[in-house]
Structure formats: structure tokens, C-alpha cells
Amino acid sequence: MNLDEIISEYADLELKLADPSVHADQAKARTYGKRYATLTPIVTTYRELEGVREDLVAARELAAEDPAFADEAAELEGRIPALEERLTHLLVPRDPNDDKDIIMEIKAGEGGQESALFAGDLLRMYLRYSERAGYKTEIIDAQHSDLGGYKDVTVAIKGREGVWARLKFEGGVHRVQRVPVTESQGRIHTSAAGVLVYPEAEEVDVQIDPNDLRIDVFRSSGPGGQSVNTTDSAVRITHIPTGVVVSCQNEKSQLQNKESAMRILRARLLVMAQEEAEAAAMAERKSQVRTVDRSERIRTYNFPENRISDHRVGFKAYNLDQVLDGDLDAVIQALLDAELAEKLAAHS
């Protein structure tokens, strides 16, 4: 999409969002609002650049008659390269999912109970980050471990601006190095937890034929395998054409568990469809966790040194305690900068 098309779309969105009838449909208004928020920095920067260029022409004309205006002309001229660079960056093709909310799954891997505890730490980190960013979170499903961590937990994260754009790089194996609570001799252990991130799919994004689903119900179970329900409220949905299986048991209602399972299923099927349709999407998700093995890590959390390292971009910082408390901005920005550099190189 070129700049003229963006400006035209932006003007159209302004008219739509000013129409009270649009806001009667919350889903439509939300879609328009997200797109408007995405285009606003581009249009704002373009207008600022055009304004500076017009002022520069006027300042040069005045400077030709009165040298006192030469400094103003020089100041305006000096602002243009930075604005042009910012606009170039904003016009780099975006990930089509950047405006979407996400579904995130965190799974314990190697390391037994320590891995499950670390999965709980990761969940808390993302919940705290979301709180700082003004995102809304919802635990869709959770399987607790005996010591209070998570064997598997799924959370939906929503925001006014695209959550996927900020958290899409979190998918992969996260490795932790620390002394486990179960370690009596103070030895440092290494374990891992896996994170999967999916753009949340709307029903219009993915069409699912009910005849392609096998739905089984069973009783929810808690830590140690004990039953936490006396009714068959847990739901397992199998998408027969793809073999994708989703289970949910977090809610007491079978209907609520089914709705949660369908949200996860749609997100997974959307990613599968995009990966099949676009080689670029498939390459982008190569870092997503396949097996939760310590050797496949994307990031290491070293407690003795209070260090966090992202191995994909060489990021390293010694504020692990703050990161685990939700201060993820520097880590995320390093990944976004690397993505931007790669896209600029590809389009140069």
C-alpha cells in the first residue's frame, strides 16, 4: 500500500469512526479503531514532514530578502532527514497479524517440578507486563503442578493496539538457571519451559465445519490427578482434518470450556493456514518451540547473575528481577529493532 492509499484509508476511517451507527457494532468499531491506531503514526509523521517542507520553502524565500531568517531555514532543513527516516520505517510492510490479540500457551518441559514452577514465573511475567501495557488478560485453561506451578497454562491477551506486534517473538524455549526449591545442596539446575504464541482468530478468519469436529467430555483433574469436579465439564475437541486436539477444563461449565477450546482451536488453525499459504510466515515461526528441550532455547534467565539473555539478537541485561516483574520493554524493543533492520535491508 502506497502513501496516497494510506492517507485515503485514514480519512475514510475517520468518517466511519465519527458515525454513531458504527459503534452499535462493537466488533466492527474495534476493528476500525485498531486500524486507525495503526495508520495514525504514518499519517501524523507525513503531515509533519509536509508541514516542515512547506515552512522551509517559506523560510528560504524570507532568507533571500532578510538574512535573519537563515537560521530558521537551517533548523527546518535539519529536521527533514529524521522525519523522512521515521516515515520510511513506518512504511515498511507490517506483519498482517500485528493488529491482532494473542493466545499464549506456556508449557513445562525438561526439569520436572522446577520447570512447572518456572512456567508459573513466566505466566506472572507476562501478566505483569500486560498490566503495565494496559492489556487485558484471561486465563483460558490451566493444569497446575503439585508445587504450585503449571504443567500447561493458556492465557488470552487483548489490547487496544496490536498485542501480536509486541509479543509475537516470545514463542520458543525459555531456559532457566537457578537453585530449585527442591534442591537441598544449593546446586544450580537448568530447566526449560516452552511458550507458544498465536494471533487470536475471529470466526470470520477461520471457517470451521462442525462436522469436522469430534467433541469428547470428561471430568476435570487437578494436581496429582485427583478429580476436581463431579460432572463431565472438561471438553476435548479434535479437528479431524488436521488432527489438532485442544482440551479445556478451567471452567465449571461444559459450555464455557467448549467456547474456550474453540478460541484456541481457531487460533491454531489460523496459524496453520497462514503457514501453508505463506512461506514467509512459516520461516518467521521457525523459532517457535517444537520440543521443550534445553538446547533449543531462545532466551536464558540466569538467577545467580540476575541476567537475562536473548540468544536471537544478542541482547543481554542484568535486571532479571525487574524483567520477571513485567519490565520486558527493553527485551521486546531489541527484537523489534532487529525485525525492522531485516525488513529495511530486504526492501533497500
Quick one: what percent of the chain has pLDDT higher than 90?
A: 58
Q: Both 46 and 188 in a single domain?
A: no
Q: Both 84 and 114 in a single domain?
A: no
The count of structural domains within the chain is 2
Domain residues for the domain of 27 are 3-90
User: What number is the average pLDDT over the span 9-13?
Assistant: 94
Cα–Cα dist 220/144, whole Å = 12
Mean pLDDT of the chain: 87
In a domain, 125, yes or no: yes
Give the model confidence (pLDDT) of 117-162 as tens digits: 999 999 999 999 999 999 999 999 899 988 788 999 999 999 977 8
Q: Looking at the predicted structure, is the pLDDT value of residue 76 above 50?
A: yes
Other C-beta atoms closer than 10 Å to the C-beta of 76 total 19
Q: How confident is the model at residue 35 (pLDDT cuts 50, 70, 90)?
A: confident
Cα–Cα dist 243/268, whole Å = 11
Q: Both 262 and 188 in a single domain?
A: yes
pLDDT of residue 176: 94
Cα–Cα dist 143/173, whole Å = 19
Q: Both 76 and 131 in a single domain?
A: no
The CATH number that applies at residue 290 is 3.30.70.1660
pLDDT of residue 290: 45
Give the model confidence (pLDDT) of 190-231 as tens digits: 999 999 999 988 766 788 888 999 999 887 766 554 544 556
Other C-beta atoms closer than 10 Å to the C-beta of 10 total 18
Q: Both 146 and 70 in a single domain?
A: no
Q: Both 164 and 54 in a single domain?
A: no
Give the model confidence (pLDDT) of 268-327 as tens digits: 998 888 777 655 444 544 545 444 444 568 999 999 999 999 999 999 999 999 999 999
Cα–Cα dist 117/106, whole Å = 11
Q: Both 166 and 20 in a single domain?
A: no
Higher pLDDT among residues 28 and 285, named by residue: 28
Q: Both 81 and 171 in a single domain?
A: no
DSSP label of 227? B
Cα–Cα dist 330/332, whole Å = 5
Q: Both 115 and 194 in a single domain?
A: yes
In a domain, 261, yes or no: yes
Q: Both 14 and 145 in a single domain?
A: no
Q: Both 198 and 85 in a single domain?
A: no
